[in-house]
Structure 1
């Protein structure tokens, strides 16, 4: 292993990129927005995985599978966001502490909650992230970066679908009888 260290780019620095034909001030704003979305997406990913691992009850399998798929989608979105930030000349956020510090959402505590509470927390987090991403779609469009706007739109569609599914899981209608009513 090499002992020589050579920093190629500072973490908070955005380098000019000629290929994409966006000026420096615009790319700096876009990279900042993308890093916010990246941080939020990773916080969401970890919360979804936590719930995926800890879900119990009569509807275990369907919720377990749903949360696993939702977490995979969040991980894929995070990768796309990070790669776009890098393509714009930025350095994607890395490391749990920096991601959590830069996220516009906060993860729930380490305790395990009932699945209804967990799903409600997921739906709230999705809602907060959806609002932020919508703002960033508008920002990217306004700055003339249609590719970033389109990528964020595609991620937005997936997030809205997952939030909508969670909303259905939280409905009162169920085939499982409450033992207190029997």
Structure 2
């Protein structure tokens, strides 16, 4: 059984790398969408949402980097072409969204997709004894669950 540089089974981690690359594509699409919400938001909640969307996209860009570096740590190559992200992602591009309720709803929908995928990645990573990926995904899950609660409260 061939091992990668951190001692995990190469063949088993190949599936995990594929899953992480798909997650990376989702994060890149969501990052771009939220960046657009930040730029285009209008209305009486402008100041609050403009700042919140900036906070979210700054967090997303950090996660993009962490996911790509995790893929490299596992011996894979992170996808790094936007055309591929569009092909791979389960999220759709959103264009010219200026309504705060719509933007927040879109973020919540995207978080549901991310949370589902990240929970599956936790299971896959645990099966191959990849505690680093389990830990990373667990951190993302707990943060996005709380963020989902807060964003949902905004919509009430």
Q: TM-score range by the shorter chain?
A: over 0.9
Task: Please say if residues 105 and 129 of structure 1, whose CA atoms lie closer than 8 Å, have aligned partners that are also in contact.
Answer: no
Task: Please say if residues 137 and 149 of structure 1, whose CA atoms lie closer than 8 Å, have aligned partners that are also in contact.
Answer: yes
**Partner of 2:106 in structure 1?**
121
CA distance in 1, matches of 2:40, 2:147: 19
Give the C-alpha shift of residue 113 in structure 1. 4.3
Q: In the TM superposition, what are the counterparts of 1:104-143 in structure 2 within 5 Å? A: 104-108=90-94, 110-143=95-128
CA distance in 2, matches of 1:105, 1:24: 29
The structure showing larger relative contact order (alpha-carbon pairs under 8 Å, at least 6 residues apart) is: 2
CA distance in 2, matches of 1:128, 1:52: 21
Q: Say which SS state the counterpart of residue 58 (structure 1) adopts.
A: coil
Q: How well do the aligned residues superpose, as a CA RMSD in angstroms? A: 1.5
TM-score by length of 1: 0.80
CA distance in 2, matches of 1:54, 1:162: 21
Larger radius of gyration, structure 1 or 2?
Answer: 1
**Partner of 2:49 in structure 1?**
63
CA offsets per residue over residues 125-158 of structure 1, 9 Å max, x none? 1111111111111111112111111011112222
Task: Please say if residues 41 and 98 of structure 2, whose CA atoms lie closer than 8 Å, have aligned partners that are also in contact.
Answer: no
More helix by share: 2
**Partner of 1:148 in structure 2?**
133
Please point out which of 18, 37, 43 is paired with 1:32.
Answer: 18
**Partner of 2:9 in structure 1?**
23
TM-score by length of 2: 0.92
Give the C-alpha shift of residue 54 in structure 1. 1.1
CA distance in 2, matches of 1:19, 1:36: 22
CA distance in 1, matches of 2:89, 2:3: 26
